[in-house]
Structure 1
Amino acid sequence: MWLHMIGKLVPKLTELRLRGCGISHAHNLLRSSSPSNYSSSLVTLDLSSNNLSSSLFQWRFNFSSSLQHLYLQNYSLLSHNLYFLSSYFHFPSLIFLDLSYNNLTSVMTLNFGSNLQSLYLRNCSLTSNNLIFTSFNPNLSSLLFLDLSDNQLTSSTIFYWISNFTFNLHELDLSCNLLNGFILDGIGNIMKSLEDLDLFYSHLQDEVPTSLGSICTLKSLTLGYNNISGDLQRFISNTSWCDTHSLQTLDLARNQLTGMLPNLSGFSFLQNLYLYDNQLEGTIPESIGLMSQLKSLLLGGNNLGGLITESHFKNLSNLLVISLSHNPLSLEISTSWIPPFQLLSMQMASCMIGLNFPIWLRNQHQLFSLDISDGGLSGSVPEWFLPRSKNIYYMNISFNNFSSEISNLPLKFNYQPIIIVNSNNFKGAIPSFLGQASELHLSENKFSNLNALVCGQIEDGGIVILDLSNNLLNGCLPNCWSQQNTLEFVDFNNNLSGEIPSSLGLLMNMEALILRNNCLTGELPFSLVYCSKLLLLDVSENKLFGSIPSWIG
Structure 2
Amino acid sequence: MNPRFAMAFQYYVFIVFFMHISVLHALALNPMIGNVTVKCIESERQALLALKQGFHLNNNAWLSSWGHGDNQKECCNWEHIQCSNETGHVLKLDLHVSDHIVRAGSITTALAELHHLNYLDLSYISFNLTPSIPIFIASLTHLRYLNLSHSGFQGKVPHQFGNLLFLEYLDLGYNSLFAEIPPQISNLSNLVYLHLGSNSFHGNIPPQLGSLLSLKYLDLSENGFNGTIPENFGNLSNLEYLDLSSSYQISLSSGLQWLSHLSFLRHLSLPKVNLSTANNWQQLVSGLSHLQYLDFNGCDLSDSIPSSLSSAANFSTSLSFVDLSGNNLMNSSLIFPWLMNSTSSLDMLNLDHNSLRGTIPEAIGELSSLEYLNLASNQLEGQIPISLFHVCSLRELDLSGNRLSGQFHEFAKALSNCNHKQLQTLKMGWNEIIGMVPDLSSFSSLQVLRLDSNGLNGTLHEGIGQLSNLRELRLGNNSLEGLISESHFSKLSMLLTLDLSHNSLVFNISNEWVPPFKLIKIKLASCILGPDFPKWLQSQHNMNWLDISGAEISSNVPNWFWEFLPTMVKLNLSHNHFKGKIENLPLIPQSALQIDLSSNSFEGPVPAFLSISAQVFLSNNMFSTANLFLCSNVSANTEYLDFQIITLEDSSQIVG
What's the TM-score bracket when you normalise by the shorter of the two chains?
Answer: 0.7 to 0.9
Does structure 1 residue 400 correspond to structure 2 residue 576? Answer: yes
Does structure 1 residue 16 correspond to structure 2 residue 192? Answer: no
CA distance in 2 between counterparts of 1:279 and 1:20 reads: 50
Match of 1:152 in 2: 329
- What does residue range 443-522 of structure 1 map to in structure 2 within 5 Å? 443-457=619-633, 462-475=637-650, 495-496=651-652
Of 235, 252, 277, the match for 2:453: 277
Match of 2:243 in 1: 70
Of 29, 51, 56, the match for 2:226: 51
Match of 2:7 in 1: none
Match of 2:424 in 1: 248
Deviation at 1:47, TM superposition (A): 6.6
CA distance in 2 between counterparts of 1:34 and 1:293 reads: 49
Deviation at 1:303, TM superposition (A): 0.9
Of 603, 610, 617, the match for 1:427: 603
Contact 1:275/1:299 (<8 A) preserved: yes
- What does residue range 281-320 of structure 1 map to in structure 2 within 5 Å? 281-320=457-496
Task: Report the secondary structure of 2:352's partner residue.
Answer: coil
Match of 2:556 in 1: 380
What is the TM-score with the length of structure 2 in the denominator?
0.65
Distance 1:33 1:45, change over 3 A: closer
Deviation at 1:296, TM superposition (A): 1.0
CA distance in 1 between counterparts of 2:232 and 2:222 reads: 14
Distance 1:348 1:165, change over 3 A: closer
Match of 1:201 in 2: 377
**Structure 1 residues 99-108 or 328-337, which shifts more?**
99-108
Of 406, 431, 443, the match for 1:267: 443
- What does residue range 315-334 of structure 1 map to in structure 2 within 5 Å? 315-334=491-510
Deviation at 1:230, TM superposition (A): 2.2
Contact 1:49/1:72 (<8 A) preserved: no
CA distance in 2 between counterparts of 1:331 and 1:318 reads: 21
Deviations 1:164-221 (A, max 9, x none): 25631111012233432222223212x1000001111222222232111110000111
Match of 2:34 in 1: none
Contact 1:70/1:97 (<8 A) preserved: yes
Task: Report the secondary structure of 2:358's partner residue.
Answer: coil
CA distance in 2 between counterparts of 1:244 and 1:211 reads: 14
Paired amino acid for 2:350:
D
CA distance in 2 between counterparts of 1:6 and 1:137 reads: 47
CA distance in 1 between counterparts of 2:342 and 2:508 reads: 55
Contact 2:263/2:289 (<8 A) preserved: no
Task: Report the secondary structure of 1:130's partner residue.
Answer: coil
**Structure 1 residues 176-185 or 209-218, which shifts more?**
176-185
Contact 1:54/1:81 (<8 A) preserved: no
Deviation at 1:266, TM superposition (A): 1.5
Distance 1:356 1:92, change over 3 A: same
Identity, in percent, stands at 34
Contact 1:446/1:471 (<8 A) preserved: yes
CA distance in 1 between counterparts of 2:547 and 2:448 reads: 20
CA distance in 1 between counterparts of 2:207 and 2:335 reads: 39
Match of 2:258 in 1: 84
Match of 1:371 in 2: 547
Match of 1:5 in 2: 159
Distance 1:344 1:354, change over 3 A: same
Match of 2:141 in 1: none
Deviations 1:63-119 (A, max 9, x none): 7757734124564434834213544xx474652412445113331334896554321
Deviation at 1:44, TM superposition (A): 2.0
Deviation at 1:49, TM superposition (A): 5.9
Task: Report the secondary structure of 1:225's partner residue.
Answer: coil
Paired amino acid for 1:301:
N
Task: Report the secondary structure of 1:17's partner residue.
Answer: coil
Structure 1 unmatched runs, 5+: 476-494, 502-553
Distance 1:423 1:64, change over 3 A: farther
CA distance in 2 between counterparts of 1:151 and 1:92 reads: 28
Distance 1:435 1:425, change over 3 A: same
Contact 1:420/1:441 (<8 A) preserved: yes
Match of 1:186 in 2: 363
CA distance in 2 between counterparts of 1:304 and 1:223 reads: 21
Contact 2:287/2:314 (<8 A) preserved: no
Deviation at 1:369, TM superposition (A): 0.6
Paired amino acid for 2:562:
L
Deviation at 1:454, TM superposition (A): 2.9
Does structure 1 residue 335 correspond to structure 2 residue 511? Answer: yes
Paired amino acid for 2:197:
R
Paired amino acid for 2:284:
T
Match of 2:145 in 1: none
Task: Report the secondary structure of 1:84's partner residue.
Answer: helix
Match of 1:117 in 2: 292
CA distance in 1 between counterparts of 2:543 and 2:249 reads: 42
Task: Report the secondary structure of 1:289's partner residue.
Answer: helix
Contact 1:71/1:98 (<8 A) preserved: yes
CA distance in 2 between counterparts of 1:319 and 1:413 reads: 29
Deviation at 1:474, TM superposition (A): 4.7
**Structure 1 residues 261-270 or 62-71, which shifts more?**
62-71
What is the TM-score with the length of structure 1 in the denominator?
0.76
Match of 2:67 in 1: none
Task: Report the secondary structure of 1:419's partner residue.
Answer: strand
CA distance in 1 between counterparts of 2:209 and 2:452 reads: 61
Distance 1:342 1:444, change over 3 A: same
Contact 2:590/2:613 (<8 A) preserved: no
Task: Report the secondary structure of 1:384's partner residue.
Answer: helix
Deviation at 1:23, TM superposition (A): 2.3
Match of 1:236 in 2: 412
Deviation at 1:278, TM superposition (A): 0.9
CA distance in 2 between counterparts of 1:58 and 1:31 reads: 7
CA distance in 1 between counterparts of 2:476 and 2:583 reads: 33
Distance 1:67 1:435, change over 3 A: farther
Task: Report the secondary structure of 1:422's partner residue.
Answer: coil
Deviation at 1:390, TM superposition (A): 3.3
Deviation at 1:139, TM superposition (A): 4.2
Structure 2 unmatched runs, 5+: 1-154, 172-194
Paired amino acid for 1:105:
N
Deviations 1:306-360 (A, max 9, x none): 1111111111111111111111111111111111111111111011111011011
Of 159, 163, 171, the match for 2:348: 171
Contact 1:138/1:165 (<8 A) preserved: no
Deviations 1:18-62 (A, max 9, x none): 7776625xxxx51559968x996964212766432276x7669x9
- Greater Rg over alpha carbons, structure: 2
